Amino acid sequence: MTNANDDDELARAIALSLQEAESTLAAQNYEKEQLKLALAASLGKTPDQLTAREVLSLELEEPESEPISNKRPLSDVIPQHEPKVAKSKTAGNTRYWDGVVKLTHVTGFTGTTYIKFEDIIDKYCLKKAFVTAFVGSMEFINEHFPDHVNMCIVLHGRPAQAGQISPTRLVIHPPMKDDRYGVFHTKLMLLFHENSMRVVIGSGNLDRWDYKDLENVVFIQDFPQRSEPCSDLPPFANDICDLLDRMQVPASVKEELYKYDFAKAKAHIVASVSGVFEGDEHKKFGHTRLAEVVRELGVADPAHLPVVEMQTSSLGALTVLYMNELYRSFCGFNPYTDDKKLDLSKTEPPPVRIIYPSRDTVLDSRLGPSGADTICFNSSLWKKPTFPRKVMHDAISHRAGTLMHSKYIIATLHKRRTVGDPSLKGWVYCGSHNATMAAWGKLTLARDTKQPKMSISNWELGVVLPIYEDTNIPAPYRRPVPPYRPEQEPWMQDREW
């Protein structure tokens, strides 16, 4: 028989175990309730109003990417921490007065670096809006933007024209370089709230796939309303105004910009406009505009060339020569206007890693091949002997199984700089530009004038931000990026699954 003391010890042990279990369960329930409250608040609901699907999303929650220590080399990572934000005094919603880069929401994942479309537009406080979109976006626009909100919508289409499709909806097709080639691919929103306006520049199309199922990236910055309109715009706002002009947007939209204070504008605009630009204008758009921004940042130094990661959702006919053309601009140099030349190999590609999903990554993804409609590459281009296969690296999302529609460039300097700002480590780009000539343009000399000439097929838009030791910008893909294995191929739409 069991000794009485042993029975007492056993009873105490069982009681203690039950107490610990109850405590753990209580903590878990408390955490779930807090998550439920936070989810309800983010959706503008009470906890009792949450749907079963919304409650289920709490069970699907996965932790964010682990915070990345700044002690690791910048060649491996960009630290990922949430920047400081402020609350709007009028709407009570988050306002990003200092600018922020965020990754778009994907169903089943939560985290502070992710943002939902509803939180981007803040429709309950929205007074008017300007948006750009691609073919098939009107249903999504009408679903998310209230009917009473006056909107100017620039859509891909030919010929260039404008039309009022409802009392509150003006639709514009911008001019294109020619009747056959090029697309309007810009992702820009100007959202006018009670006492501020929000600029959103990103990679996502206005459809549910890009804001619920695919990885995309957005730059967001809010600007306060001025007490009186200004007479001149600073560079950031002036670049946007120039784009609106070239899209043939009504003057009333551009005039709105003069009502806001852009003094804290954080990013540098890099746009592509469908057209041919000669003389001084060749530096305004495409990759030569990017070169100008790199120079402005102070990182154009032939003694300190960057290593570049270029993440894309579409690939064109890359060659070593065109990669060299891009890399010169990534370094801040123009072959036709700079005295100093970069000595690049004509046979070996420059230090640029192209990040594009392998066939394996697409097949293993949550959506599978049916979710890769906007991930584009052709097998005929892959077979060309001029295609630099050794630059290819796989695009692996932090959110397991998620396909990426983002466009992202990270340029990092590896040698310690002795000139300029030594804390400046490089730059990062996010926006709509894919790794194609149609997006970034082709730089040549005009035969008749012998002037530099930039020819661009697409409309595109992105922003460039400097990278410092403590920069807090989330990269959409896992780093360091894995090169393709010998047996791997990129995802190609025209191949059998």
Residue 283 and residue 227 share a domain: no
Judge whether residue 369 has pLDDT over 80.
Answer: yes
Q: Are residues 234 and 120 in the same domain?
A: yes
pLDDT (tens digit, 9 = 90+) per residue, 290-348?
A: 999 999 999 998 888 999 999 999 999 999 999 999 999 999 999 988 877 788 999 99
Mean pLDDT of the region 25-47? 44
- Could you tell me if 469 and 70 are in contact, meaning their C-beta atoms sit under 8 angstroms apart? yes
Q: What is the mean pLDDT of residues 182-187?
A: 97
Is 25 inside a domain boundary? no
40 close to 49: Cβ distance less than 8 angstroms? yes
Q: Are 319 and 390 in contact (CB under 8 A)?
A: no
**Quick one: DSSP state of residue 105?**
P
Q: Are residues 231 and 289 in the same domain?
A: no
Looking at the fold, whether 216 and 360 belong to one and the same domain comes out as no
Q: Using omega within 30 degrees of 0 as the cis cutoff, is the peptide bond preceding 235 cis?
A: no
Taking alpha carbons only, the member of 462, 473, 408, 465 closest to residue 216 is: 408
Q: Is the pLDDT of residue 462 over 80?
A: yes
169/304 same-domain check: no
User: Pairing between strand 442-445 and 452-456?
Assistant: antiparallel
Whether 388 and 277 share a structural domain = yes
DSSP H helices in 258-377 = 287-297, 320-330, 359-363
Alpha-carbon torsion (399, 401, 402, 406), positive or negative: positive
Output the DSSP codes for 376-402: B--HHHHT-TTS-GGGEE---BSSTT-
Count the residues in the chain. 497
Between 59 and 435, the higher pLDDT residue: 435
The values of phi and psi at residue 260, to 5°, are: -125, 155
Domain-terminating residue out of 224, 244, 267: 267
Tokens in use for 95?
A: 């306002």
Residue 262 in tokens: 């852009």
With 80 as the cut, is the pLDDT of residue 84 above it?
Answer: no
The neighbouring-strand residues paired with 426 are 412, 467
Does residue 297 share a domain with residue 197? Answer: no
Residue 21 lies in a domain: no
Of the three residues 250, 267, 284, the one that is the final residue of a domain is 267
Grade residue 160 by pLDDT with cuts at 50, 70 and 90: very high
Residue 302: name the closest of 419, 216, 435, 381 by CA: 419
Domain contains 111 = yes
- CB contact set of 381 (below 8 Å; sequence gap of 6+): 315, 316, 317, 318, 387
State both tokens at 403. Answer: 């396909």
Q: How far out from the chain centre does Cα 427 lie? A: 14
At residue 63, the pLDDT reads: 34
Residues 259 and 354 placed together within one structural domain of the fold: no
Is residue 481 assigned to a domain?
Answer: no
Question: Is the residue at 309 inside a domain?
Answer: yes
In a domain, 42, yes or no: no
Which residue intervals of 389-479 are DSSP H helices?
437-440
**Would you say residue 476 lies in a domain?**
no
State yes or no: pLDDT of 59 exceeds 90. Answer: no
Same domain, 250 and 112: yes
Pick 85 or 476 by higher pLDDT: 476
Question: Do residue 129 and residue 228 come from a single domain?
Answer: yes
CA distance linking residue 109 with residue 119, whole number of Å: 16
Per-residue pLDDT of 92-147, as tens digits, reads 479 999 999 999 999 999 999 999 999 999 999 999 999 999 888 999 999 999 99
- The mean pLDDT value of the chain amounts to 85
Report the half-sphere exposure of 368 (CA within 13 A, side-chain side).
3
CA distance 313 to 294: 24
Query: Is the pLDDT higher at 392 or at 45?
Result: 392
Q: Taking a C-beta distance cutoff of 8 angstroms, is the pair 491, 377 a contact?
A: yes
DSSP one-letter code for 149: S
**Residue after which a domain boundary falls, among 236, 267, 298:** 267
Q: Are residues 168 and 120 in the same domain?
A: yes
Burial class (CB in 10 A: 0-12, 13-18, 19+), 11: exposed
Q: Determine the pLDDT at residue 419.
A: 66
What pLDDT is attached to residue 338?
84
pLDDT at 136: 86
DSSP 68: P
State the average pLDDT over residues 222-241.
96
CATH of the domain at 242: 3.30.870.10
Distance CA 300, CA 329 (A): 9
- The answer to whether position 34 is within a domain reads no
Is residue 281 located within the same domain as residue 353?
Answer: yes
DSSP state of 281: G
Could you identify the residue written with the tokens 């300029």? 420
Single out the residue of 189, 186, 180 nearest to residue 156, CA to CA: 186
Number of domains in the chain: 2
Instruction: Enumerate residues 6+ apart whose C-beta is below 8 A from 180.
Output: none
Domain range for 315: 269-468
User: CB of 311 within 8 A of CB of 409?
Assistant: yes
Radius of gyration over every alpha carbon of the chain, rounded to an integer in angstroms: 25
